[in-house]
């Protein structure tokens, strides 16, 4: 599951590559858009809202292409005749300009909406940790609205605040010394945790390799995420992993039983 900073980085790359260039090829490989042809149109901006990607395209009318990476999705940029790095049958959107092609693979959402309806796509999201609309007070209010909810689950709920996936959830709980199942109301300093979330995403927004420890070497980049059975960096206890949250949305949580005792 890509984190908010990954999505912001993808948006910035698409924006740099496509904005201001006439589309010479468009291919939407989803049934609902199979007959759509936006050749001759022009992308005027790609931006991220939470984990949603919005590509504004001017054609016969003002459109917004809405895509979401969900679990396995990615956008790639290719020059000229480069070979695609993922199988062609995973491609869902192909946007070509002179000399470059952007390909969206395994996208969880692909839809085209009139630009005036763009706001409806992301109206359900809480404040975006990396967005221009970031509002700490509002995020705290939403997080605190259900006091008994496990903090790990509350952090993943994009309607509370947008941008945190499994990785940052695990790393934030560790660096705050709280077990992921701790009720929100029992988190000692929620504002500090939220500020730390923003710092972590900001720090990783511009770099290709994500790290929460500040160490960019392989296997040294995270405190607990995907480090189950490895010793905790602080105390040496074996990191644990378990699925948490409601069955249909259960996610893997990682924690150190000594540094993050269950309450």
What are the catalytic residues? 2-3, 51, 251
Nearest to 57 by CA among 40, 39, 75, 44: 44
Adjacent-strand bridge partners of 62 = 58
Give me the DSSP letters along 128-154: BTTSTT--HHHHHHHHHTSTTSBHHHH
Sole window of 24-32, 172-180, 221-229, 231-239 interacting with Zn ion (rule: CB under 5 A): 231-239
Do residues 212 and 221 make contact, with C-beta atoms less than 8 angstroms apart?
yes
Task: Report, in Å, the least distance between residue 223 CB and Zn ion.
Answer: 9
Q: Which of 85, 124, 234, 263 binds Zn ion (CB under 5 A)?
A: 234
Q: Which is nearer to Zn ion, 222 or 232 (CB)?
A: 232
Task: Report, in Å, the least distance between residue 260 CB and Zn ion.
Answer: 7
**Tokens found for residue 79:** 């020059």
Task: Report, in Å, the least distance between residue 238 CB and Zn ion.
Answer: 9
Q: Which is nearer to Zn ion, 132 or 214 (CB)?
A: 214
Sole window of 9-17, 35-43, 60-68, 225-233 interacting with Zn ion (rule: CB under 5 A): 225-233
Q: Which of 232, 244, 245, 254 binds Zn ion (CB under 5 A)?
A: 232
Nearest to 164 by CA among 189, 142, 188, 186: 142
Q: How far apart are CA 52 and CA 104, in angstroms?
A: 13
Asked if 256 touches Zn ion (CB under 5 A), the answer is yes
Asked if 263 touches Zn ion (CB under 5 A), the answer is no
Per DSSP, the three-state class of 62 is strand
Asked if 224 touches Zn ion (CB under 5 A), the answer is no
Task: Report, in Å, the least distance between residue 181 CB and Zn ion.
Answer: 17
**Count of residues near Zn ion by CB under 5 A:** 7
CA atoms within 13 A on the CB side of 65: 31
Task: Report, in Å, the least distance between residue 152 CB and Zn ion.
Answer: 17
Asked if 222 touches Zn ion (CB under 5 A), the answer is no
- What is the number of the residue whose Cβ is closest to Zn ion? 232
Nearest to 255 by CA among 175, 200, 194: 175
Asked if 32 touches Zn ion (CB under 5 A), the answer is no
Backbone phi and psi for residue 226, each to the nearest 5 degrees, phi listed first = 55, 25
Do residues 162 and 127 make contact, with C-beta atoms less than 8 angstroms apart?
yes
Q: Which of 25, 258, 261, 263 binds Zn ion (CB under 5 A)?
A: 258
Task: Report, in Å, the least distance between residue 204 CB and Zn ion.
Answer: 23
**Tokens found for residue 258:** 């000594």
Asked if 178 touches Zn ion (CB under 5 A), the answer is no
Asked if 130 touches Zn ion (CB under 5 A), the answer is no
Asked if 235 touches Zn ion (CB under 5 A), the answer is yes
Cα dist from 228 to 46, 118, 150, 179, whole Å? 37, 41, 20, 15
The residues binding Zn ion (CB under 5 A) are 232, 234-235, 237, 256, 258-259
């Amino acid at each position: 599951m890509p984190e908010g900073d990954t999505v912001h980085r993808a948006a910035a790359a698409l924006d740099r590559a496509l904005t201001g260039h006439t589309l010479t090829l468009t291919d939407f490989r989803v049934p609902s858009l199979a007959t759509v042809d936006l050749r001759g149109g022009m992308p005027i901006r790609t931006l991220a809202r939470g984990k949603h990607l919005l590509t504004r395209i001017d054609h016969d009318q003002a459109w917004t292409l809405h895509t979401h990476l969900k679990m396995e999705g990615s956008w790639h940029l290719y020059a000229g005749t480069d070979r695609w790095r993922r199988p062609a049958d995973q491609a869902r959107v192909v946007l070509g300009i002179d000399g470059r092609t952007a390909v969206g693979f395994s996208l969880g959402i692909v839809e085209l909406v009139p630009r005036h309806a763009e706001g409806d796509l992301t109206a359900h999201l809480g404040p975006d940790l990396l967005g221009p609309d970031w509002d700490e007070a509002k995020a705290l209010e939403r997080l605190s609205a259900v006091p008994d909810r496990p903090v790990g689950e509350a952090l993943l709920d994009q309607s509370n605040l947008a941008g945190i996936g499994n990785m940052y959830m695990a790393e934030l709980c560790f660096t705050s010394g709280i077990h992921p199942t701790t009720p929100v109301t029992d988190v000692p300093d929620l504002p500090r945790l939220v500020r730390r979330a923003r710092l972590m995403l900001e720090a990783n927004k511009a770099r290709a390799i994500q790290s929460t420890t500040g160490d960019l070497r392989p296997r040294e980049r995270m405190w607990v995420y995907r480090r189950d059975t490895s010793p905790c960096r602080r105390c040496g206890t074996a990191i644990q992993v378990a699925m948490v949250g409601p069955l249909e949305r259960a996610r893997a949580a990682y924690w150190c039983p000594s540094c993050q005792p269950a309450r």
